[in-house]
Amino acid sequence: MNVAPDQIAAMRAFNRFYTRQIGALNEGLLRSDFSLADARVLYELAHRDGLSAGELARSLGLDAGYLSRILKRFQTRGLVERRRSESDRRQSVLSLTEEGREAFAPLDSGASEEVRNLLCNFPESERRRLVNAMATVLDILGPRGSPSEPYLLRQPEPGDYGWIVHRQARLYHDDFGLDQRFEGLIAGIVSQFIEQLDPTCERCWIAERHGEVVGSIFCVRASDEVAKLRLLYVEPSARGLGIGRRLVEEVIRFARSKGYRTLTLWTNDVLVSARKIYQATGFTLVEEEHHHSFGKDLVGQNWTLDLG
C-alpha cells in the first residue's frame, strides 16, 4: 500500500512535537533522577501484580537486555524485589517494595498535575476534542477492540444528520473511489427524511462510542406494508464490535413493531461486510443490475426480508 510522503512527514512532526511536550527527551522525568523508561517500568509494576520480566518487556515493548539493566538498578536501590511465582516455581515475578511505591508516588501525582496544568488552559470543548483525538489514535494504532467494548444507540441530535452525509461521502470515496455524486445522493436521502419524517413509522439510529458518532442507519416508510433500510454505515474504528449487525437488527425489530410486512434495501456488491450482515439477519438477494454511477462501474443489488 502506498503512503503519501506528506502523511509520513505529518506523523514524524507530531512525534517530535509530542516527545518534547511530555518531556520524553529530558534527562530526568519531572525533575527526578528517573528516565521516562524508568517511570514506565515503575508504573506497570505499581498497577499490575505478578509480572515476570518477560511479560513486562513485552508489555512495554522494551529490549530484554535494557529492561534487565533497569531492574538490576532498581533492585540495588531497594525499589523492586523478585519472588518465586506461586503458579510456576520455575519463574520469578516482580513487585515494588514499599520504597519503590514511595519513589513512584511523586512521579504519578506529578505527571497528573502536569497534565492538569496543561489542560486547564483550554475550554471544556477543546479538552473533549483533544481526548477524543487521542482515543482515535489509540483505536487506529492500538490492538483492535473487543466485542465487549461499550457503545450506545440513540436518537439523532442537532448536527448528526450533516455528520452522516460528511462521513459516508468521505468513507465511500476513500474505500471505493465514489465521487461527489454519491455525496449528493446521501444528502438527498437525508434531506427528504428530515423534511418528511413520520416518527410514528420511521426512525434513525445513531451509534455512539467514546462520545463520538461511529455509525447510523435509517428505517423509511415506502408504503403501508413496506419499509426501506437505508444508509447503514460504521466507522472503521468501531468495526468488529457488532455495531453494524445491531443497527440492522434494531431496524428489523422496529419495522415489525410498526406492522410492516416487508423490509427492503438497495446496496452495491462491493460492500462485502454489509452484505454479510444482511445475509446473516435473513435478507434475500432478489435482483442485481450492472450500472455506472458515482464514477465507477458497480453492481447494484436489491435485498428483501419477509417480516411475517
- The pLDDT profile of the chain, 308 residues, written as one tens digit per residue, is 688 888 888 888 888 887 777 666 565 666 678 888 888 899 889 888 778 888 888 888 889 899 999 999 999 999 999 888 776 667 788 989 999 999 989 888 888 888 888 888 888 878 878 877 887 787 778 766 555 567 899 999 999 999 999 999 999 999 999 999 999 999 999 999 999 999 999 999 999 988 889 999 999 999 999 999 999 999 998 888 899 999 999 999 999 999 999 999 999 999 999 999 999 999 999 999 999 999 999 999 999 999 98
Looking at residue 146, its pLDDT comes to 54
pTM of the model: 0.59
Looking at residue 1, its pLDDT comes to 66
Give domain limits for the chain: 5-121, 152-306
The answer to whether 255 and 263 have CB atoms below 8 angstroms apart is: yes
CATH architecture of 152-306: 3-Layer(aba) Sandwich (3.40)
Q: Could you give phi then psi for residue 210, rounded to 5 degrees? A: 55, 35
Looking at residue 26, its pLDDT comes to 63
- Is 5-121's fold the same as 152-306's? no
The answer to whether 250 and 153 have CB atoms below 8 angstroms apart is: yes
The answer to whether 107 and 29 have CB atoms below 8 angstroms apart is: yes
3-state secondary structure of 188: helix
Q: What's the rounded Cα separation, in Å, for the pair 206 and 305?
A: 22
The answer to whether 212 and 186 have CB atoms below 8 angstroms apart is: no
CATH of domain 5-121: 1.10.10.10
Q: What's the rounded Cα separation, in Å, for the pair 36 and 131?
A: 22
Looking at residue 24, its pLDDT comes to 63
Beta bridge pairs of residue 227: 221, 263
Looking at residue 212, its pLDDT comes to 87
Handedness of CA 118, 122, 128, 132 (dihedral sign): negative
Looking at residue 93, its pLDDT comes to 87
State the angle between helix axes of 36-47 and 53-60 in degrees (0 to 180), rounded to the nearest 10. Answer: 120
Looking at residue 108, its pLDDT comes to 84
Looking at residue 286, its pLDDT comes to 96
Q: What's the rounded Cα separation, in Å, for the pair 122 and 240?
A: 34
Q: How far is CA 241 from CA 97, 150, 294, 300, in A?
A: 40, 9, 30, 27
